[in-house]
Amino acid sequence: MAEFTLELNDDQKQVRDWLHGFAADVMRPAAAEWDEREETPWPIIQEAAKIGIYSLDFYAQQYFDPTGLGIPLTMEELFWGDAGIALSIVGTGLAAVGVLANGTEEQIGTWVPQMYGDADDVKLAAFCSSEPDAGSDVAAMRTRAVHDEATGEWVLNGTKTWATNGGIAHVHVVVAVVDPALGTKGHASFVVPPGTPGLSQGQKFRKHGIRASHTAEVVLEDVRIPGHCLLGGKEKLDERLARARKRAAAPGGERVRNAAMATFEASRPAVGAMAVGTARAAYEVALDYARTRTQFGRPIIDNQGIAFQLADMRTRVDAARLLVWRASWMAAAGKPFDSAEGSMSKLYASETAKEVTAQAVQILGGNGYTREYPVERMHRDSAIYTIFEGTSEIQRLVIARTLSGMPIR
């Protein structure tokens, strides 16, 4: 188990600098254009693939970094470049983690490489859990997966929403209900292979921010997939369902903990790191501007009112990073999240990004309010961090329940 340290090793520094170069030289200059186009920035993803930033190898390396810092370093640098483009680059990872977490070795080997494709033929993947009536309340999920005993296939029906890369992905990972009586314990994850009939894209959403990232509904109508597309396999699912039924039948057993809350705890610091990237970017723009913008015959940073804001912004960004690194290290070291440290990091970092980007807009004055300066986009982009992967309210609920041991609602 790696010790927790704030000192990056040489490999980490090298990777961070390499990512920073791509973020500064390729992503930043293209950010405004793709934000306006509201389209997946395929040429940028291809460039990332050519140099290895968009590749299974790279993400696997960062994911398995024993210090836990590989993923947060990657997220911070890419989202520093631009949040919308960065989500297009890392969105596949959400589906890949869905397979890594639940799949057999064979399933991981089959599906995860297909999610990325290669530099000459780049592919994307989508993770489809949310539904119109099941956002924070994952237990309200309605998409059904029914096993066809005759053919051994699974048949999926339902509508997923808010899926990053939904409908344009090569591989979709879909969470569906296999036993409605068991709440979240009756859910299972499936891979829908490329070209499967019955899967289609519904509405594509026009968003407030991260507009270069494609977000859409995914409609599943009698989608038939082979038995081997059930992640983890049928035997494991049957065992898990039998255990859950036994527990539900026991006195008090119906109050099973929301599985999604526990599962997300380890992945939430990665979203915190994205928020740190956006917050740091806005802080840097504001600092530069405050040094050079002159009013009343002196740079505006000469006013305590501006300088103190910048001091608070930087302090919050650094504090957010520390929480993210702590939780990321804990996840890698297998430490239990006894105080919901994963949720804490996501809550604090996402709220920080919203506040810091709003302060940056204020420091740039009228310019901050225009699309001529990047803080306007960063401010819009930052609003996503308190919504996806569990809203701020849900993070507070998880933290409060964990700390108190009470079923707080």
Ligand X SMILES: Cc1cc2nc3c(=O)[nH]c(=O)nc-3n(C[C@H](O)[C@H](O)[C@H](O)COP(=O)(O)OP(=O)(O)OC[C@H]3O[C@@H](n4cnc5c(N)ncnc54)[C@H](O)[C@@H]3O)c2cc1C
Residues near ligand X (CB under 6 A) are: 94, 127-130, 135-136, 162-164, 207, 210, 215, 384, 387-389, 391, 393-394, 397
Give the burial class of 167: count Cβ atoms within 10 A of its Cβ; 0-12 exposed, 13-18 middle, 19 or more buried. buried
Whether 265 sits among the annotated catalytic residues: the reply is no
Of the pair 323, 394, the CB lying nearest ligand X is at 394
Of the pair 185, 380, the CB lying nearest ligand X is at 380
As measured in angstroms, the least distance from the Cβ of 293 to ligand X is 33
CB 42 within 8 A of CB 122: yes
As measured in angstroms, the least distance from the Cβ of 301 to ligand X is 34
Q: What single-letter DSSP state applies at residue 256?
A: -
Q: How far is residue 81's CA from residue 284's CA, in Å, rounded to a whole number?
A: 12
As measured in angstroms, the least distance from the Cβ of 9 to ligand X is 32
Residue 131 pairs in a beta bridge with: 134
As measured in angstroms, the least distance from the Cβ of 175 to ligand X is 8
Helical packing angle, 83-102 and 268-292, nearest 10°: 160
- Nearest residue to ligand X on Cβ basis: 135
Of the pair 187, 321, the CB lying nearest ligand X is at 187
Q: What single-letter DSSP state applies at residue 153?
A: -
Task: Please give the C-alpha separations between residue 60 and each of 64, 100, 112, 143, 180, in angstroms, as whole numbers.
Answer: 6, 10, 10, 30, 34
Amino acid identity, residue 323? Answer: L
> Exactly one of 235, 376, 389, 393 is catalytic; which is it?
389
Of the pair 61, 159, the CB lying nearest ligand X is at 159
Query: Which residue matches tokens 């009228």?
Result: 366
Catalytically active residues are: 389
